[in-house]
Structure 1
Amino acid sequence: MKIIYFLMGILVLVSCMEGPTKNNITWGKVVGSKENSATQIELFAEQFKWTVRYSGNDNTLGEFDYKLTTEINPLAIMTTEAIEASLFEIEYGENGINELQEKQDSFEYKQFPKDHDDINGELNRKERLQRLLKQMKKRHDDKIDVAALDDFILTDTLVLCIDQEYEFNFRSKDVIHSAYFPHFRAQMNTVPGMITRFKYTPAITTEEMRRKESDAHFEYMLMCNKICGTGHYSMKMIVRVLEKEEYDSWVLSKSANSFEKTVDTMKHQKSTR
């Protein structure tokens, strides 16, 4: 009997050792570096919406830096023009350094110490950011700009191709969110200041699911699964899975709205200053 218990203990120990190893291999495949055939997509989270960035024809997402966040460049994508546009905005834009310096010297604000201190604090912050942007401009290699130019951005629907492997790269602008695909049984936290990722291959198109579910209005969904604020309940995006031919036509139709168009707008704004 002791021998039996001894052998059972060994079997339990071996199974415990095997289990995590197998799980780790599987998890490593899901979150590890992309395969050459995997299409790169970025999912950008902020209160209370999702934004999708596709990697374009080169299947390479352009670089980004949070310091480049502007109204025209909300994902802070990095190009030479984006750096120059951010510098101009922080120096001459609304509530920029020039405007703050004028307020700082005005009699109206000097007679209210708290307001004057608030302006000084904001001015110090903007001047620090200005110095960082100037350093970025000096170090920037414009050869990397090409990776960003063919990226295109959507805010309404995440469109995928059946049987195509995707690497989803997740970023958050503000707080921790969680990208939850209930029908795919997949979820990943989106964390400010870092990139998280996983790979997934859709196996059933939206039309096939509509037939399976006998629901002509069925849609896959992307939701936020972390309570992230008062609008958390509304942080959703439709996910649509298409056949390859239809998907390729869709991608072609969106390529005209690539980030290069945004860069052209930045160039035009620069020329009219």
Structure 2
Amino acid sequence: MSIFITVAIIFLVLMIVYQIAQASEYAASLRSSESERQKKTNVVMASLLVAFFLCGLYGIWYCHTNLKDLLLPISASKQGESYDMMFVVTLAVTGIVFLITHTLLFWFAFKYKSTESHKSSYFLAHNNKLELIWTTVPAIVMAVLVVIGLRNWGVMTGAAPAESEVVEIVGKQFNWIVRYSGKDKVFGKRDYRNINDATNVLGMDDKDPASADDIVAQNGEMHLVVGKPVKLIIGSRDVIHDVGLPHFRMKMDAVPGITTTMWFTPTVTTAEMKKITKNPNFVYEISCDQMCGKGHYSMRGTIIVETQEEYNKWFAAQAPYFAPQNAAPATDTTKKAEATVAVK
């Protein structure tokens, strides 16, 4: 609401300035000649342009100073540090260009306003050297920025280190399903035809020996070890989702029928980030960065980054998905059949 009020006030101030300028113009037309009125109008408009430019610079400074708490904290992954550096370089290059060009734009509008001694003139001019400079230099700068981005993208989507932990994350409307391979470090086979929300959310093959120790978390919670690379195997059960990890500066689409991957190395535990952000309720978030339906807003998971000892303790307490305690309860018909057999 405060932002709306601020915008409304700014709009009203601009309207008042405009009305004052109009009133001044009408008053001048009654007191002076056409040329004198035009001269005063040019001075007023040129001055307002400079004032508008200075107000804009102040607004940029004010937002950067007072709204910096809305920015994300430091990157929680090693790869994310490269993305932060790329962002800073891009912002610096474009910021310098923005400042130079807009300073010249508004200054020229003020300095070369039309007066009695200086009239605007129009002529057709062409300078091949100038055209070459202002086309080639930006093209080279943009190409360098693109190459840096492609390099970082190639690292993120390339082959993960051999010692990486492998975790599968699957999106469905509207939550995340996380699977760990168990002690054998091999994921069991999946078949979408086996999917059953009550007994088999991922369509795992219960006859595959590799599925026997797979661990499935349906609450969207993922556990990772600090300092250990993790490779995410990403998929979707229904529509296109997107695994967004803003604190790690990572994101990747989850596409039905297609497996996508990315890897990164967590560098800050959840406990450490709580101290850095001074927020005891801080959690690493898994967001869905792709509009996936009416429940998109609720598709949120969490990541817990912990030490190896903490991870081992958590992992030891997890039961395989196909363990007896995770199996669906028997139906009444089955219970009656078992009772009949017992009586016989």
Alpha-carbon shift at residue 29 of structure 1 (Å): 2.7
Matches within 5 A, 1:170-189: 170-189=234-253
Matches within 5 A, 1:209-220: 209-220=273-284
Gaps of at least 5 residues in structure 2 are 1-127, 339-344
| 1:155 pairs with 2:218 | yes
CA–CA distance in structure 2, aligned partners of residues 154 and 168 of structure 1: 15
Are the counterparts in 1 of residues 206 and 322 from structure 2 also a CA contact under 8 Å? no
Amino acid at match of 1:74: V
Alpha-carbon shift at residue 24 of structure 1 (Å): 3.9
Q: 2:201 pairs with 64, 74, 79, which one?
A: 74
CA–CA distance in structure 1, aligned partners of residues 314 and 253 of structure 2: 29
Amino acid at match of 1:73: N
Hey, what does 1:37 align to over in structure 2?
A: 163
Q: 2:256 pairs with 181, 192, 198, which one?
A: 192
Amino acid at match of 2:166: Q
Alpha-carbon shift at residue 155 of structure 1 (Å): 2.0
Alpha-carbon shift at residue 18 of structure 1 (Å): 6.7
CA–CA distance in structure 1, aligned partners of residues 324 and 180 of structure 2: 15
RMSD: 3.3
Hey, what does 1:247 align to over in structure 2?
A: 311
CA–CA distance in structure 2, aligned partners of residues 243 and 232 of structure 1: 32
Alpha-carbon shift at residue 32 of structure 1 (Å): 2.6
Q: 2:321 pairs with 240, 251, 259, which one?
A: 259
The structure showing larger relative contact order (alpha-carbon pairs under 8 Å, at least 6 residues apart) is 1
Work out the percentage of aligned pairs sharing the same amino acid. 29
| 1:26 pairs with 2:152 | yes
Amino acid at match of 2:293: G
Alpha-carbon shift at residue 230 of structure 1 (Å): 1.2
Are the counterparts in 2 of residues 40 and 61 from structure 1 also a CA contact under 8 Å? no
Alpha-carbon shift at residue 38 of structure 1 (Å): 0.8
Q: 1:175 to 1:149 in 2, by over 3 A?
A: same
The TM-score, its normalising length taken from structure 1, stands at 0.64
Q: Secondary structure at the match of 2:201?
A: coil
- 1:63-121 CA-to-partner distances (Å, cap 9, x unmatched) read 211111123111011242xxxxxxxxxxxxxxxxxxxxxxxxxxxxxxxxxxxxxxxxx
CA–CA distance in structure 1, aligned partners of residues 150 and 233 of structure 2: 20
- 1:214-256 CA-to-partner distances (Å, cap 9, x unmatched) read 11111111111111111111111121111111111111111xx
Hey, what does 1:207 align to over in structure 2?
A: 271
- Which of 205-214 and 15-24 deviates more? 15-24
Q: 1:205 to 1:264 in 2, by over 3 A?
A: closer
Q: 1:10 to 1:235 in 2, by over 3 A?
A: closer
Alpha-carbon shift at residue 17 of structure 1 (Å): 7.0
Are the counterparts in 1 of residues 170 and 234 from structure 2 also a CA contact under 8 Å? yes
Alpha-carbon shift at residue 35 of structure 1 (Å): 2.6
Are the counterparts in 2 of residues 40 and 166 from structure 1 also a CA contact under 8 Å? yes
| 1:58 pairs with 2:172 | no
The TM-score, its normalising length taken from structure 2, stands at 0.52
Hey, what does 1:141 align to over in structure 2?
A: none
Are the counterparts in 2 of residues 39 and 55 from structure 1 also a CA contact under 8 Å? no
The alignment covers a number of residue pairs equal to 205
Hey, what does 1:131 align to over in structure 2?
A: none
Amino acid at match of 2:202: L
Are the counterparts in 2 of residues 181 and 187 from structure 1 also a CA contact under 8 Å? yes
Q: 2:175 pairs with 35, 49, 54, which one?
A: 49
Alpha-carbon shift at residue 58 of structure 1 (Å): 2.4
Q: 1:49 to 1:8 in 2, by over 3 A?
A: closer
Alpha-carbon shift at residue 147 of structure 1 (Å): 2.1
Q: Secondary structure at the match of 1:183?
A: helix
Higher gyration radius (CA): 2
Q: 1:216 to 1:72 in 2, by over 3 A?
A: same
